Amino acid sequence: METQEPPASEPAAASGGTGTLYRRFVEPLLRSDDGADAEQLSRLTLTALAQASQRRHWPLVEGALAGLAGELQRRDPRLQQSLFGCRFANPVGLAAGFDKNGVAAAIWDRFGFGFAELGTVTWHPQPGNPRPRLFRLAAERAALNRMGFNNEGARAVRRILERQALPAPGQRPAVLGINLGKSRVASLELAPDDYASSLELLAPLADYAVVNVSSPNTPGLRDLQEESQLRRLVERLRRLPGCPPLLVKIAPDLEDDAIDAIARLAYEEGLAGVIAVNTSQSRLGLEQRVLTATGRPLAEEAGGLSGRPLRARALEVLRRLRATAGPALPLIGVGGIDSAETAWERIAAGASLVQVYTGWIYEGPELVPIILEGLVRQLDRHGLRTINEAVGSGLPWS
């Protein structure tokens, strides 16, 4: 029998131990809605990563992390970019919400990421919503979550980051953003002060900060996307001494006019960029899909939808932002990216950087090198010298 070699141009997925372990032990748990509890799995992973981050200089841990980096990192000068004063080794980042308290801040580069966004962090520590609050929609490669900004609060997060003795901002192998949200107990009127308290404390540790006004799980939060409210909030934060580059993260459920207003505001207020998008309150064609855990259709469930069903809308919002803001405003594309092709599509549509969350969970850690290798191959095919030339080029995946 003939053995078939994969064609030379196909993605050479990392074939090391991490990928194999993930495929053997984790992936089977993700194949159905009611396999392992999604939040429990994340928690277990984070507990292990927190230990590794804290003890990363211990010889055994150092060796294991070097092995991980050897498998997952892809260094290529063509993928580097400087944006809003930060140097990104590559354009693929971990989206906010996975490492909410920054417990693994020191080791996200070992997973191949060019940047990681920690948080959402609120001023007050808060437990979030009652469980279950994170649901897998395995067949759709999607998730529904109504976590509600569970996090330990800005003071504790500062201590967690300090304990890890991170290199100073600007000197880290992976850029670290800190995503900030409104505490549940803070009124909308006092929201600027609430965000400002967190930013004051965390600014010295952040390469960039994100004003999250788009989570669907904090009542009233998304009202802060309204132009005058957002302007008041951003102006308050930008006045703080030592304010890092400030970005705004927006929802996919905004009307075109509201997207345009935010693009203009970003320009006028000198924001470093816009992140599009957060999870969706629309059910994106899945209104009648029954959640296995509760027996109710998604139309009747609270929470935000992420993953593959969000992809088309996320791309649409990004295109709209790019059309209104022009090429000068850096955009970060997130929502439903789970392959090199979907990352390329977002970059070609105007994203300087992309982030992954749900796709990274389903595909496993190999997704990062698969995307990075795929991007480099596209640059070659289109005769581009750097990833920056691909941003907003409209060039197709080929």
Q: Which is nearer to ligand FMN, 88 or 149 (CB)?
A: 149
Active site residue 82: no
Q: Which is nearer to ligand FMN, 56 or 252 (CB)?
A: 252
Smaller CB separation from ligand FMN, 56 or 195? 195
Task: Specify burial of residue 398 (Cβ count, 10 A radius: 0-12, 13-18, 19+).
Answer: exposed
**H helix intervals, 91-207:** 154-163, 191-202
Catalytically annotated residue among 198, 215, 306, 352: 215
Segment lying near ligand FMN (by CB under 6 A), choices 68-76, 94-102, 193-201, 255-263 = 94-102
CB nearer to ligand FMN: pick between 65 and 279: 279
Residues 39-78 that bind ligand FMN (CB under 6 A): none
In this chain, which of 96, 103, 317, 379 binds ligand FMN, going by CB under 6 A? 96
Shortest Å distance, C-beta 39 to ligand FMN: 8
Full DSSP string of 311-348: HHHHHHHHHHHHHHH-TTS-EEEESS--SHHHHHHHHH
d(CA 381, CA 340): 14
* Binder among 65, 206, 247, 310 for ligand FMN (CB under 6 A): 310
Show contacts with ligand FMN in window 314-343 (CB under 6 A).
Answer: 334-337
Written as one letter, the residue type at 385 is R
What's the CA gap between 293 and 310, in Å, rounded?
A: 21
Q: What is the DSSP letter of 398?
A: -
Helices 256-268 and 227-238: angle between axes, nearest 10 degrees: 30
Q: Roughly what angle, to the nearest 10 degrees, separates helices 340-348 and 367-382?
A: 50
Characterize the bridge pairing of strands 353-356 and 331-334. parallel
Nearest Cα neighbor of 273 from 204, 200, 351 is 351
In whole angstroms, how large is the CA radius of gyration of the chain? 20
Nearer to ligand FMN, 20 or 281 (CB): 281
Residue closest to ligand FMN when measured from CB atoms: 97
- Rounded to whole angstroms, what are the CA distances from 206 to 40, 97, 100, 188, 191? 28, 16, 14, 25, 21
- Residue range at the interface with ligand FMN (CB under 6 A); choices 44-52, 156-164, 263-271, 303-311: 303-311
Q: Is 248 a residue that touches ligand FMN (CB under 6 A)?
A: no
Using the rule CB under 6 A, is 225 a contact of ligand FMN? no
Give the strand order in the sheet containing 134-137: 134-137, 142-145, 304-307
Asked if 218 contacts 244 with a C-beta cutoff of 8 angstroms, the reply is no
Q: Which stretch, 54-62, 82-90, 223-231, 350-358, contacts ligand FMN (CB under 6 A)?
A: 350-358
Binding to ligand FMN in span 115-154, by CB under 6 A? 119-120, 134, 143, 145, 147, 149
- What number of chain residues touch ligand FMN (CB under 6 A)? 28
* Binding track, positions 151-180, relative to ligand FMN; x by CB under 6 A: ----------------------------x-
**Nearer Cβ to ligand FMN (117/373):** 117
Q: How many Cβ atoms sit within 10 Å of the Cβ of residue 229?
A: 16
For the record, the structure tokens of 39 come out as: 């939040």
* CB 275 to ligand FMN: min, Å: 7
| CA–CA dist 28, 44 (Å, integer) | 16
C-beta closer to ligand FMN: residue 72 or 310:
310
Mind telling me the catalytic residues? Answer: 215
Residues that bind ligand FMN (CB under 6 A): 95-97, 100, 119-120, 134, 143, 145, 147, 149, 179, 212, 215, 249, 278-279, 306-307, 310, 334-337, 356-359
